Amino acid sequence: MNIETPILTEKDLKKIALEFVTVSQKAAVASYPWIGRKQKNEADGAGTEAMRSQMNTIDMNAKIVIGEGEMDEAPMLYIGEELGSGRGPYLDIAVDPVEGTTPMSKGQENSLTVIAGGPRGSLLHAPDMYMRKMAVGPKAKGYIDLNKSLTDNMHSVAKALGKEVKELTVMIQDRPRHEELINEVLNLGARIKLFHDVDIPGAIATAFDRYEIDMLVGIGGAPEGVIAATALKCLGGDFQGQLIPYNEEEKERCKKMGIDHPGKVFALNEIVQSDKCFFVATGITDGLLLNGIKKTSARFESHSIITVGGDNRFFQFIKSNY
């Protein structure tokens, strides 16, 4: 289906995105009882079931393009599964009911529920493998290039932001594979901000001055890269990614999902091929971007973000009670 087909209108987009906030909230609340119990599968299962059930109440023809795995790996929210009432716009949906299952299972920070969507055919079908990533906010849009060195990119971003290179703060996952990147930042006199798990909040944080993060760089999950790219497109930021298949099996997975040249650098408009996209997330545990679910007496408090692209771009943080 041609993504330019006028099926998803601007009015539809905002309405659908708001309905997905409820989806995200219900998945996060369903996962809450499993925080700190070291039972990742149970937590993920609870969030997945709640998410799928609520998604089926929405008037849409949605297809999961990034989800819990292939059909033979996941009973729900598997890649290719079609959800919704069957009435309404045709959508691509990328989901992770519990992004950060490991920190959540240990009672640690930065786990959240995430959903991204756009018109059918608009989202890159990224296989579950590693991806090189670079993310920046709106002021540095158009000033990044993964084909160049981190040093070159930092100089470019600094110029866009009206800063000295040494004034930049670069967010990087604390992993041995990033040692060279970390040293490159420090050798330029800039600051690093290391994190342990879950890179989606850090990528999104580059779009907000309050977090004082100028760039996110490093290697992480490709599905998470597509979801973060969608959020940044809605927010006016920028993102580039490059898949890293480590063996022939992973190369074949790329081809199976329509990616003939996995080594190429994907620009934001190649990862998310429509401006009419949306992203929503709800915190499960406290994190950089969102507060986690809180239970007070018989009520739950949730903290979510909604971002919508298109001609009427907007974002909002939402606090809700159940």
Residue ranges for the known binding site for Mn(2+) are 44, 68, 96, 99, 224
The tokens describing 91, both together, are: 């959508």
Q: Which residues are annotated as a binding site for substrate?
A: 99-101, 130, 175-177, 197-199, 221
Q: Which residues are annotated as a binding site?
A: 44, 68, 96, 99-101, 130, 175-177, 197-199, 221, 224
